[in-house]
Structure 1
Amino acid sequence: MQTIREVMTPDVRTISPQETVQRAAQLMDELNVGAIPVCDGAKLVGMITDRDITVRSVAAGQSPDQTFVGDVMSTDVRTCYSNQDLDEVLDKMGDVQIRRVPVIDEQSKQLVGIVSLGDIATKTHGAAEDALDEISSPSEPDRSETRH
């Protein structure tokens, strides 16, 4: 049985909900990532993704240097524990169609890392394939499309 601790990326950079969306985008660029855990002190309070910035901020016409991470972040964050079974977490990722999950220490309840499909794909043999199939299934658009 392989655990999340064995494949996760430890020492994840986080951002505060009081930081600007512009700073979040800069940090994503520096780290070459598409999502950053949002922590209020040591407590995980959300995740901000490049999609959150694009859809909830830019598309709404908000100024990135005056909009706060806390205003556009996703707050319904799925987490896992570092001692959890890899297959169990992969099943959850596939069920809810997510590509990365913050990892919490079961004792301290603190953020200790993040696990992504990329981590799993590079550190295991074939374990990510089924989850990727489920995660990559097309979803219905949020609104009807109009053609011009």
Structure 2
Amino acid sequence: MRIRDCMIREVRIADPDETLREAALAMADIDAGFLPVSEHDRMIGVVTDRDIAIRGVAKGLSPETRIREVMSGEIRYCFDDDDAADVLDNMAELQVRRLPVVDRGKRLVGVVSITDLAGYGERAHAGEALSEIARPSPVHSQTV
């Protein structure tokens, strides 16, 4: 199965000058914990509920702080024509639950989550990936 067969195509994109409050409200509105961040029609990062909680709230930042101050600038992504099993392996290695999906021109075309992949026939493989994602790692330390 290809990623284009199971990804979410309607993606809410955040502007880096939106506030943490606006990002949190957008996440609540779409029931997601992840927003790609784009500036001048180019993806420059992602912001997660975890970024807001750990890099924002835990450090005492105001809800009016700009997303660009807490977002992850290192963008990990997959291609829409990638094989789902390969993407699950990559998610496990990176210890991430979701990835932006781009076409071969590197234009954002969707988002895929481990839940999306599990729901489209990759249940066992998704479970294996999740066990790797959930293991403690200094890469995703919650130290403030």
TM-score (norm 1): 0.89
Residue 58 of structure 1: aligned partner? 57
Give the match's secondary structure for 1:89: helix
Tell me how far 1:123 sits from its aligned partner: 1.3
Residue 23 of structure 2: aligned partner? 24
Judge which range, 132-141 or 83-92, deviates more: 132-141
- Measure the CA separation in 2 of the matches of 1:142 and 1:133: 18
Tell me how far 1:21 sits from its aligned partner: 0.8
Question: Does the aligned pair in 1 maintain the 2:103–2:109 contact within 8 Å?
Answer: yes
- Measure the CA separation in 2 of the matches of 1:142 and 1:132: 18
**In structure 1, what residue type is equivalent to 2:8?**
T
Residue 94 of structure 2: aligned partner? 96
Query: Percent identical across equivalent pairs?
Result: 41
Give the match's secondary structure for 1:112: strand
Tell me how far 1:90 sits from its aligned partner: 0.8
- Measure the CA separation in 2 of the matches of 1:124 and 1:47: 27
Residue 131 of structure 2: aligned partner? 133
Question: Does the aligned pair in 1 maintain the 2:85–2:122 contact within 8 Å?
Answer: no
Tell me how far 1:130 sits from its aligned partner: 1.4
The answer as to 2:119 corresponding to 1:122 is yes
Give the match's secondary structure for 1:18: coil
Question: Does the aligned pair in 1 maintain the 2:54–2:142 contact within 8 Å?
Answer: no
**Shift >6 Å, 4+ stretches:** none
Aligned-residue Cα RMSD (Å) equals: 1.6
**In structure 2, what residue type is equivalent to 1:95?**
E
Question: Does the aligned pair in 2 maintain the 1:104–1:112 contact within 8 Å?
Answer: yes
TM-score (norm 2): 0.91
Residue 45 of structure 2: aligned partner? 46
Tell me how far 1:139 sits from its aligned partner: 2.7
Question: Does the aligned pair in 1 maintain the 2:80–2:101 contact within 8 Å?
Answer: yes
**In structure 2, what residue type is equivalent to 1:92?**
N
Tell me how far 1:142 sits from its aligned partner: 5.6
- Measure the CA separation in 2 of the matches of 1:23 and 1:121: 30
> What are the residue-to-residue correspondences of 1:100-111 with 2, within 5 Å?
100-107=98-105, 109-111=106-108
- Measure the CA separation in 2 of the matches of 1:72 and 1:24: 11
The structure having more radius of gyration, on CA atoms, is 1
- Measure the CA separation in 2 of the matches of 1:20 and 1:142: 22
